[in-house]
Amino acid sequence: MANQLLSIAPRHVSLPENYVRPEPQRPRLHEVIAGTSIPTIDLNSPDIIDEVADACTSHGCFLVVNHGVESVPEMLEVSSEFFDLPAEEKAKHYSDDPMKKMRLSTSSNVRTETVRNWRDYLRLHCYPLEEFVPSWPSNPPSFKRVVSTYCREVRQVGMQILRVISLSLELEEEYLVKILGELEQHMAINYYPRCPQPELTYGLPPHTDPNAFTILLQDPSVPGLQVLKDGHWIAVDPQPNALVINIGDQLQALSNGRYKSAWHRAVVNSDKERISVASFVCPCKSVVINPPEKLITNGSPAVYKSYTYDEYYTKFWSRNLDDEHCLELFKRE
């Protein structure tokens, strides 16, 4: 029911019971490490291959600057306009069916989860654009135009990153582009309202992304993304004009565990709502995920079974976001 959307409900003065995490699962915000930076990589850097190799091994996460995505300000603007629309307008798009290709929903998967997350999100499929844009919201009036432009620009960055990651694994430049097939591209426009008790809940609990990698645009004025590094949560404070790259489960599997799918979470705050735009770069569903021979050696035997991305994705959505790491279920005996 659409009235479950946080962006429709009246402002809460205390956190509803079904959002409260049991004590051991709470975010412990005072323990978060602030001010340590995660790697920032200039896409025009002459040393980009080494820089990406280091970042993918150490953090599974990095910021990119000089990415050429010019529609960033408009994309943030139209996202916030969308969540400001009247309730009836948003209700038209509501669904809790995770298989729907366009839906406005809340939390993560309200059909399976026991504790909710303090987030609404609009999920879109974005490739090929001609196929999906007609089903996107036509309000705000500029939505289709702005989001399509953003999707095209982000896809360019995604392809560039895949080529650099291939080279950084000492593979042929086109290796990952070829092996991942006609890449799917999905988007989640996340809306995290102000939360009366941010210590008790999450926008998104700790998780890794199930796809190849994610390109995340953060609200430049409101922090909320945190990444796990050596057992500590570190704040990835937004930097103007930077996009966050999060390595996902499929690049961890394809690199035979050399690159780490980053554990990350989104926390909320009581001062200001926050918007983020996650672009998920995904293998084609039929692709068999199997690392190249070159990355399987006596010293590093194959870690995961081979599987299709379709199998993985189905398994991922049948679970809860904060269950055991989905990739663990695909390990060799």
Residues that bind ligand OGA (CB under 6 A): 188, 190, 204, 209, 216, 224-225, 264, 266, 276, 278
Residue closer to Ni ion (CB basis): 167 or 251: 251
Residue closer to ligand OGA (CB basis): 6 or 48: 6
CB of 236 to ligand OGA, least distance (A): 8
Residue closer to Ni ion (CB basis): 90 or 186: 186
Residue closer to ligand OGA (CB basis): 168 or 190: 190
Residue 123-162 contact track with Ni ion, rule CB under 5 A, x = bound: ----------------------------------------
Nearest residue (beta carbon) to ligand OGA = 276
Which partner from the list ligand OGA, Ni ion, none does 146 bind, CB cut-off 5 to 8 Å by kind?
A: none
CB of 79 to Ni ion, least distance (A): 17
Residue closer to ligand OGA (CB basis): 155 or 274: 274
CB of 202 to Ni ion, least distance (A): 12
Which partner from the list Ni ion, ligand OGA, none does 190 bind, CB cut-off 5 to 8 Å by kind?
A: ligand OGA
CB of 188 to ligand OGA, least distance (A): 5
Residue 26-65 contact track with Ni ion, rule CB under 5 A, x = bound: ----------------------------------------
Q: Residue 260 and residue 250: Cα distance in Å, rounded?
A: 10
CB of 209 to ligand OGA, least distance (A): 5
CB atoms within 10 A of CB 286: 10
- b/e string for 107-117 if b means 16 or more Cβ within 10 A? bbbeeebebbb
Which partner from the list Ni ion, ligand OGA, none does 151 bind, CB cut-off 5 to 8 Å by kind?
A: none
Beta strands 102-106; 264-266: pairing state: unpaired
Computed on alpha carbons and rounded to an integer, the radius of gyration of the chain in Å comes to: 19
| 3-state secondary structure labels for all residues of the chain | CHHHCCCCCCCCCCCCHHHCCCHHHCCCHHHCECCCCCCEEECCCCCHHHHHHHHHHHCCEEEEECCCCCCHHHHHHHHHHHHCCCHHHHHCCECCCCCCCEEEEECCCCCCCCCCCCCEEEEEECCCHHHHHHHCCCCCCCHHHHHHHHHHHHHHHHHHHHHHHHHHCCCCCCHHHHHCCCCEEEEEEEEECCCCCHHHCCCEEEECCCCCEEEEEECCCCCCEEEEECCEEEECCCCCCCEEEEECHHHHHHCCCCCCCCCEEECCCCCCCEEEEEEEEECCCCCEECCCHHHCCCCCCCCECCEEHHHHHHHHHCCCCCCCCHHHHHECC
Residue 178-217 contact track with Ni ion, rule CB under 5 A, x = bound: -------------------------------x--------
Residue closer to ligand OGA (CB basis): 188 or 251: 188
| 249 is a site residue for Ni ion (CB under 5 A) | no
CB of 245 to ligand OGA, least distance (A): 12
CB of 227 to ligand OGA, least distance (A): 10
Using CB under 5 A as the criterion, which residues of the chain lie in contact with Ni ion when the complex forms?
209
